[in-house]
Amino acid sequence: MQDQENQEVSNQPEANAAADAANAANAGQAAQSSETSLEEQLSATEAKLAEMHDAFMRAKAEADNIRRRAQEDVSKAHKFAIESFAEAMVPVRDSLEMALKVEAPTVESIKEGVEMTLKQLTAAFEKNRLVEVMPQAGDKLDPNRHQAVAVVPSEQEANTVVAVLQKGYMIADRLLRPAIVTAAQPK
């Protein structure tokens, strides 16, 4: 029996060694499997990074193109801002030049020509939203649209328009030139 026990004791280190070798082999396979999995993850991550970088570069190029186009549009808008007004003014100039070519103008023909030219000019102003600021006597003085150059004694209420010396103009909602007026003096 003792031989058997000695043999079992001497076989234990061999059994332990075999178990350790089996564990090491399993660990090696797991490490190799883990290494392969990490390599696959790394390659997938690198592919995704390349895809994201490409998308970023495309988006950056598109933003640059949009910025460049917007700058060109603004530049063209500044350059050709008065194109519509200029087109409307050309016929007015043509009419004035034709009036100067008349050999023997009469007072009536000159007056008729000036009236027609004024109609063309008025139409050009309307087309381009250039509106007269023409206050009437007695209107309340509006410092945003009127410029009082004198205050005169008057029977009217204080700070009202007495007389218009020069009409003003607005483009759309922006004041181009205020109407020059005299205002009633406070009593």
pLDDT digits (tens, 9 = 90+) for 105-115: 899 988 998 99
Three-class SS state of 177 = strand
pTM: 0.57
Among 53, 118, 62, which residue's Cα sits nearest to residue 91?
Answer: 118
Query: Given pLDDT bands bounded at 50, 70 and 90, which one contains residue 171?
Result: very high
Query: Given pLDDT bands bounded at 50, 70 and 90, which one contains residue 47?
Result: very high
- What length does the chain have? 187
Give the model confidence (pLDDT) of 124-134 as tens digits. 999 989 999 99
Chain center to CA of 87:
27
CATH number for the 129-187 domain, one of 3.40.630.90, 2.30.22.10, 3.40.50.720, 2.40.50.140?
2.30.22.10
> Which tokens belong to 55?
């998308």
Q: Which amino acid is at 145?
A: R
Contact criterion met (CB below 8 Å) for 179 and 168: yes
Contact criterion met (CB below 8 Å) for 185 and 152: yes
